[in-house]
Amino acid sequence: MAEPRISSIDGKLAEEFAAPSHVEEVKDKMAAFAEHHAAAGRRVVLITSGGTKVPLESRTVRFLDNFSSGRRGACSAEYFMDSGYAVIFLHRHRSLYPYTRMFSTINMLDALQFRGEDGASGEVVVNQQVLPNIVKALKRYHEVKDGRLLLPIEFNTLSEYLHLLKAAAQALSTIGSKAMFYLAAAVSDFYIPASEMPEHKIQSSNGPLQLSMNMVPKILSPLVKDWAPQAFVISFKLETDAAILLDKARRALDTYRHQAVVANVLDSRRGYVVVVTPETQSELILTEEDVKNEVEIEERIVSNLTSAHEKFITQQVG
């Protein structure tokens, strides 16, 4: 397979994807965050999370999207912080968020009640039968906030994602191998270039819709080679067809020359993943016992990768 030409990807990014206006400001913030934590002896992980929105019209009513609640990214962020990392959380607007993800399946008003019999106190308290883990989550949330361990950055569209990821890679390049990229977001493979996009809502009275979408440039290539060449980089591969999964994971490693691929199948992604590196292939599996004990597979993934990152750093130094 021919290697993608880096310069052309970078050029395409500038030409066909509108950069968000705050990208330089965010980049400075990420660089300061990374330097601060690296100076304090912490490693820093950039987590991407959630799906990307691909507009079909420039005043957008319709868009293409990727299935992703952002659960894996949000959940992994918590385990990385538990392992001593500082986390830049580059996530889709309204996707799941560390610690607050526990509220995602309930109606918050069902978890609140007036304090005292008649509510005369005017105080509203959490019903801990509905939210049994709230005390633990709130404490940990405060610790993370006090320690400034989490820097949240939002994206919505594919364009925003691509530009912010580039900015993050450049911001983290200063801390070299202490940086990990954990690219869990579900990024669209297809887009409509701004120059080919209609301004207004596509009219259904014009008949059936023919869409022709270009391929999104493979940003992993300049990220690994150009923007953050010393970093420890993990990509994710999600397929619905288990038969092609590992082959695709190996091919990605051959093409981009990064450190690992976390490979998973849509239906079993919460209980089974394979961490593929150039030399190894580790199956991580939750047993029935694990599920009963509410173990999350992200704890295993993060444990596997933080060990590998540790080794990687030692080898770079040595």
Binding site for its own copies (CB under 8 A): 53, 56-57, 59-67, 97, 99-100, 103, 107-109, 112-115, 119, 122-126, 128, 134-135, 137-139, 141, 186, 188-190, 199-202, 204, 207-216, 238-241, 266-267
Task: Name beta bridge partners: 48.
Answer: 90, 183
The smaller minimum CB distance to its own copies, of residues 23 and 61, is found at 61
Q: For residues 55 and 222, which CB has a smaller minimum distance to its own copies in the complex?
A: 55
8 A C-beta contact, residue 88 and residue 30: yes
Q: Which is nearer to its own copies, 126 or 313 (CB)?
A: 126
The three-state secondary structure class of 136 is helix
Least distance CB 212 / its own copies (angstroms): 6
Structure tokens at 133: 């883990």
Residue 8: count of CB within 10 angstroms of its CB: 11
Asked if residues 259 and 308 have their Cβ atoms less than 8 Å apart, the reply is yes
CB of 205 to its own copies, least distance (A): 9
**Secondary structure of residue 217 in the 3-state scheme:** coil
- The tokens describing 260, both together, are 């690992």
CB closer to its own copies, 5 vs 94: 94
What is the C-alpha separation between 138 and 133, in angstroms, rounded?
A: 9
Decide whether 186 or 228 has the Cβ nearer to its own copies: 186
Q: Which is nearer to its own copies, 99 or 232 (CB)?
A: 99
Residue type (1 letter), 300:
R
Please state the closest distance from residue 286 (CB atom) to its own copies, in A.
Answer: 21
In the complex, least distance from residue 248 CB atom to its own copies, rounded to whole angstroms: 9
Q: Is 43 exposed, middle or buried (0-12, 13-18, 19+ CB in 10 A)?
A: buried
In the complex, the smallest distance separating the C-beta of residue 15 from its own copies, rounded to whole angstroms, is 17
Q: What angle do CA 32, 38, 41 make, to 5 degrees?
A: 150
